[in-house]
Amino acid sequence: MAGLFSSSSDGKKVFYKTDEEIELIREANLIVSKTLAHVASILKPGITGQAIDKAAEEFIRDHKGRPAFKGYNGFPASLCVSYNDIVVHGIPSTREFKDDDIVSVDCGVELNGYFGDAAFTFAFANVSEPVMELLRVTYAALYKGIEQAIAGKRIGDISFAIQNYCERQHPYGIVRELVGHGVGRALHEDPEVPNYGRRGKGHLMQSGLVIAIEPMVNLGVKEVYQDTDGWTIHTRDRKPSAHYEHSVAVRKGKADVLSTHQYVLEEIKNNPAVQEVSPKN
């Protein structure tokens, strides 16, 4: 679940995790990852956001986790289900999915006092090529950001890598108002992780920092607005938006990705209603 951008860092404190804590966060993320895969296995045109939310909550609780989003600041569901022009924080509804929809599913789980957080944008069978390209670029940008999540780098190195990669590919809009974030004993911790910025700026990362990196990239303009429900974020021009997310531990030399999309990709291969999405080379 994306955090809202705050321009002030006053009073913020960054928590570094021990190896033992990182393993507990990994366990929470394993349930997140398998929940997203369960969603991938049942997605099809005609199913509703509420139906996949119910299935996800049952899956999480069956695996001894707690849906982290449900009740968070009043959010009413276990998943954020954001389709087409909804960037993030979509509330699952009774709207039936169509065969040309894209659907971002964002999932959070608490397990043994630690949180996991990851997201994947799915594409049904008749999604157009320009929108599929948006998904591929955004997915690749996630990994460009992850490559920078190493000790001795700064948050701005992640931000720049994501923005630079996306804007070199196409004139996409990089959302400013929503950011990645620290994750651990709380769903949202410091530091914030914007998807735009300058190299060498921002918080100096050290081994043990755990962050959620989550590019949110629009096909059109970067501007967004919030719906009257207080949660749902739309693109200002109502063009599609893509969103991918991993929880990542900063290490020396190479980031340690604590969530995985492996299970999701395996389920997509077995689901003819959903197109395969691979990061653009």
pLDDT single digits (tens) 81-110 = 999 999 999 999 999 999 999 999 999 999
Given pLDDT bands bounded at 50, 70 and 90, which one contains residue 3?
A: confident
User: What residue spans of the chain are helical by DSSP H?
Assistant: 19-42, 49-62, 129-147, 155-169, 262-269
Tell me the pLDDT tens digit for each residue of 198-209. Answer: 999 999 999 999
* 176: phi then psi, degrees, rounded to nearest 5: -95, -35
Q: In Å, how far from its chain's centre is CA 231?
A: 16
Q: Is 3-275 assigned to CATH 3.90.230.10?
A: yes
Q: Which residue has the tokens 């040309």?
A: 100
Q: In Å, how far from its chain's centre is CA 79?
A: 11
d(CA 26, CA 111): 10
- Sheet (strand 241-243) strand order: 173-174, 216-218, 241-243
Q: Which residue has the tokens 């570094």?
A: 16
Taking the alpha carbons at both ends of the chain, their separation in whole angstroms is 26
Round the average pLDDT of the chain to a whole number and report it: 96
Q: Which residue has the tokens 């992640």?
A: 158
d(CA 65, CA 154): 32
Domain chopping of the chain, boundaries: 3-275
- Hey, is 24 helix, strand or coil? helix
- Hey, is 167 helix, strand or coil? helix
d(CA 242, CA 216): 6
Tell me the pLDDT tens digit for each residue of 168-202. Answer: 989 999 999 999 999 999 999 999 999 999 999 99
Q: Which of 123, 89, 124 is nearest to 107 (CA)?
A: 89
What is the model's pLDDT at position 48? Answer: 98
Give the containing element (helix H, strand E) for 234. Answer: strand 233-235
- Assess contact for 105 and 36: CB atoms under 8 A: yes
What's the pTM?
0.96
What is the model's pLDDT at position 8? Answer: 43
- Hey, is 44 helix, strand or coil? coil
* 102: phi then psi, degrees, rounded to nearest 5: -110, 145
Instruction: Using the CB atoms, write b or e for 172-186: b if 16+ within 10 Å.
Output: bbbbebbbbbbbbee
Give Cβ neighbours of residue 264 (< 8 Å, ≥ 6 apart): 33, 36, 37, 40, 120
State the Rg of the chain over Cα: 17
Give Cβ neighbours of residue 214 (< 8 Å, ≥ 6 apart): 2, 119, 142, 180, 193, 195, 243, 244, 245, 246
Tokens of 234: 């739309």
